Amino acid sequence: MVVNQKHIAILGSTGSIGTQTLEVISLHPNQFKVAVLTAQSNATLLIQQALEFLPSHVVIGDESQYSQVKEALAHLPIEVHAGAKSLEYVVCLDEVDVVLTALVGYAGLLPTVRAIEAKKPIALANKETLVVAGALIMPLAAKMGVPILPVDSEHSAIFQCLMGESHNPIEKVILTASGGPFRSWKREQLAKVTREQALKHPNWTMGAKITIDSASLMNKGLEVIEAAWLFQVNANQIDVVVHPQSIVHSLVQFQDGSIKAQLGLPDMKLPIQFALAYPNRLEVDFPRFNFAAYPNLTFEEPDLATFRNLGLAFKALDKGGNMPCILNAANEIAVAAFLEDKIGFLEMSDLISETMERGTFLANPTLEDYVQSDQLSRELATQWVVNNSK
């Protein structure tokens, strides 16, 4: 064993962020060791990863695949677990130094809460956790003295701009958005887009849910809420600017009007590595940004009338309480229904907006309230899909 290696638990190791995290770990075997790998349903890849990285624990979410994983790893000193509840157990193991949350959606909430309670630093890719319950997560992390290190590229950029600025108040954070595959499209065109068109992102290769969120601008909406919690700013202090080249990853404006930005080629391995190695920067030979190859870095206003989800997210943030939780649950149902071709692209916003209107508002929710609110909002949203299916 190498001394001072950080032992990492990766929740969602088979996904886009999870597999890129393993690439980063492979580049720095002296710095990092995999302690835990988890996946929801891709048992084959999970087994392959476990054979290569030899974690002490793995979790397969889908319990019907437990015996397959267990048998494949039986000859190794690897404990195999199944089911959602196991995630709450493995994040607390003594040997875990950092939990990287690369799972998608609301499922990240409870494991993240347990990890913070067990004083594990969080490398946070799973933005939905902060969207749903930032009001609970941030004070809990402060109380336990646990850092929440952003993996999302925009938030990593802001975090990097803020290094050395802790005594200087933020005037504004400015999140950049690529605009997705439908930038500058109008509602008539969007009404007809297919699942396949929406799954093609111009600059990033990501999981299906975040790719649809990027096409609908809900990803930027979720990131606005994520930024509000991470950097303790309110809705009026967050701007979104569309920057199709995805080179300027985000910016911070200070009280003297000075703006700091972080730039680089779009590659999630950079923010992943920075969150894992923080406060250090590790040497890597990823391709460097070349100004000559990008003579035009452009910036434009987002079209809120066409992409209503971004406005809905600002509204949920402004309202506070469990409203972002309702927004998130409705969005998860909307994206799943769109991917199953049950509703159209623009209808996702109708579903979310109506669920926000019909959900029961709670100003100061507890953890149990969030769990229940998520459940009830899913039921309302699912009913909307049944009533409005194509």
The Cα 44–Cα 65 span in angstroms is 10
65, 126, 156, 262: residue in contact with ligand NAD (rule CB under 6 A): 126
Report what 121 binds from Mg ion, ligand NAD, none; CB cut-off 5-8 Å by kind. Answer: none
| Collapsed DSSP state (helix, strand, coil) of residue 386 | helix
* Interface with ligand NAD, residue 204, by CB under 6 A: yes
Q: Which amino acid is at 268?
A: M
Residue 6 gets the label, from left (phi > 0), alpha (psi -120 to 50) or beta, of beta
Report what 17 binds from ligand NAD, Mg ion, none; CB cut-off 5-8 Å by kind. Answer: ligand NAD
83: how many CB neighbours lie within 10 A of its CB?
A: 14
The Cα 302–Cα 219 span in angstroms is 13
**In angstroms, how far is CA 274 from the centroid of its own chain?**
16
* Interface with ligand NAD, residue 149, by CB under 6 A: no
Burial 73-82 (b: 16+ CB within 10 A, else e): beeeebbbbb
14, 31, 49, 331: residue in contact with ligand NAD (rule CB under 6 A): 14
The Cα 329–Cα 356 span in angstroms is 10
* Interface with ligand NAD, residue 12, by CB under 6 A: yes
Q: How far is the CB of 221 from Mg ion (least distance, A)?
A: 11
CB-wise, 128 or 303, nearer to ligand NAD? 128
How open is the CA angle 111-270-1, to the nearest 5 degrees? 65
Position of minimal CB gap to ligand NAD? 15
Q: How far is the CB of 271 from ligand NAD (least distance, A)?
A: 8
* Interface with ligand NAD, residue 127, by CB under 6 A: yes
Report what 198 binds from Mg ion, ligand NAD, none; CB cut-off 5-8 Å by kind. Answer: none
* Interface with ligand NAD, residue 15, by CB under 6 A: yes
The Cα 120–Cα 77 span in angstroms is 23
* Interface with ligand NAD, residue 207, by CB under 6 A: yes
22, 25, 72, 125: residue in contact with ligand NAD (rule CB under 6 A): 125
* Interface with ligand NAD, residue 61, by CB under 6 A: yes
**In angstroms, how far is CA 136 from the centroid of its own chain?**
17
CB-wise, 209 or 243, nearer to ligand NAD? 209
* Interface with Mg ion, residue 152, by CB under 5 A: yes
Q: Are 333 and 385 in contact (CB under 8 A)?
A: yes
What token pair was written down for 91? Answer: 């994040």
User: Contact residues for ligand NAD (CB under 6 A)?
Assistant: 12-18, 39-40, 42, 61, 84, 102-104, 107, 125-128, 152, 204, 206-207, 209-210, 268
User: Contact residues for Mg ion (CB under 5 A)?
Assistant: 152-154
